[in-house]
Amino acid sequence: MDLELEIMDIITNAGESKSEAMIALQHAKRQQWEECDAALIRSKEAASRAHLVQTKLIGMDEGEGKIPVTLVMVHAQDHLMTSMLANELVKEMIEVYRHKVY
């Protein structure tokens, strides 16, 4: 296994997930609900790919420090965490647009 490639998978998929969530929000602002929902699906799929890699690495580490913690690993975890937060907030904002609660 090439650890750096695995870590880059987390970064790229987390970034794609966040980007698709932001695209969904832009569609929601224009009330383009089909496009919005499609972007949310793509966002969720990318997030799932990133999470699967993270879970794989956690399993390989077995809580024993077998996987070295490098700056790029920390960077990947940061990307994943902020992507997850962005997705949750974007979904809430989309619901506001969808139901015109504002």
Active site residues: 75
- Give the CA count within 13 Å in the CB-facing half-sphere of 39: 21
Output the six-digit token pair for 64. Answer: 């024993």
Q: Of how many residues is the chain composed? A: 102
Cβ atoms < 10 Å from Cβ of 5: 9
Output the six-digit token pair for 13. Answer: 């998929």
